[in-house]
């Protein structure tokens, strides 16, 4: 066959952010005496991946003698239980189902709230909270009480729409898609404060990007394309 002229491949990555972000991760790992760290930076309106970082990493210009943890793209391959960082996503889902006034009062408990035979507590007794203070105080009990008003699959379906349990479809190897326990009365509630599910970092960044973009999901892009699909409405802007 005759040689074919290759095309240009233009990535969305910003080398300045890659370099700066890598140094920030290195400092954070050293400061916290951690084993590793990862970060993802997205352009809000387009979903372009401006940086995808893992520390420690490796030099791709040097031939590898083995494939190990340093060669993994942990931003997409490692799953983790998100914990309280999922609460803004859950709150958007709660508001999309039922509107609450900012001064709506929610009573917490020093003893905790019974979920599936176990008492779930806050980090300290928070008393009676206004709705507008639930995220500020990061109350597990308030999130549970609000989520109890949702249909069984409502929260899980919202997370699905936000991309937590679906592939990014980026041209990258080794992506592990998020997952969650079978929805039950208990699991539906624990998912509101980030337990009973696991996600990868890129999917969590995408979900937060939906909030930053007024409820619109542009997806995530790593290769620059002139023609892109229109962003999809996931959550109405007034619920964010």
* Rounded-to-integer distance, Cα 184 and Cα 87, Å: 19
Q: Which of 122, 200, 124, 190 is nearest to 155 (CA)?
A: 190
In sequence order, what are the residues at sequence separation of 6 or more whose Cβ sits closer than 8 angstroms to the Cβ of residue 20? none
Q: Tokens for 233?
A: 């409405």
Q: Measured on CA atoms in the order 144, 149, 155, 161, is the torsion positive or negative?
A: negative
Between CA 120 and CA 114 the distance in angstroms is 6
Whole-number Å distance between alpha carbons of 27 and 186: 39
Angle at 34 between CA 135 and CA 190, to 5 degrees: 35
Cα angle 129-132-138, degrees, rounded to a multiple of 5? 65
Q: Active-site residue among 36, 38, 75, 84?
A: 84
CA–chain centroid gap for 158, Å, is 13
Question: Does 84 qualify as catalytic in the annotation?
Answer: yes
Q: What are the catalytic residues?
A: 84
């Amino acid at each position: 066959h005759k040689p074919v002229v290759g095309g240009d491949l233009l990535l969305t990555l910003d080398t300045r952010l890659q370099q700066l972000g890598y140094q920030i991760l290195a400092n954070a790992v050293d400061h916290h005496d951690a084993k590793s760290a990862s970060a993802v930076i997205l352009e809000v309106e387009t979903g372009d991946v401006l940086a995808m970082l893992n520390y420690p990493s490796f030099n791709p210009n040097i031939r590898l003698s083995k494939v190990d943890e340093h060669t993994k793209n942990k931003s997409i391959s490692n799953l983790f239980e998100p914990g309280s960082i999922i609460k803004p996503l859950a709150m958007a889902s709660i508001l999309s189902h039922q509107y609450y006034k900012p001064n709506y009062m929610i009573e917490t408990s020093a003893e905790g709230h019974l979920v599936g035979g176990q008492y779930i507590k806050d980090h300290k007794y928070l008393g009676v909270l206004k709705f507008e203070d639930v995220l500020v105080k990061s109350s597990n009990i308030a999130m549970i009480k609000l989520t109890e008003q949702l249909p069984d699959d409502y929260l899980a379906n919202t997370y699905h729409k936000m991309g937590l349990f679906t592939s990014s479809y980026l041209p990258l190897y080794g992506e592990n898609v998020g997952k969650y326990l079978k929805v039950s009365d208990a699991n539906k509630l624990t998912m509101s404060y980030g337990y009973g599910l696991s996600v990868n970092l890129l999917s969590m960044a995408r979900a937060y990007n939906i909030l930053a973009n007024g409820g619109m999901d542009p997806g995530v892009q790593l290769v620059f394309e002139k023609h892109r699909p229109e962003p999809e409405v996931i959550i109405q802007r007034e619920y964010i």
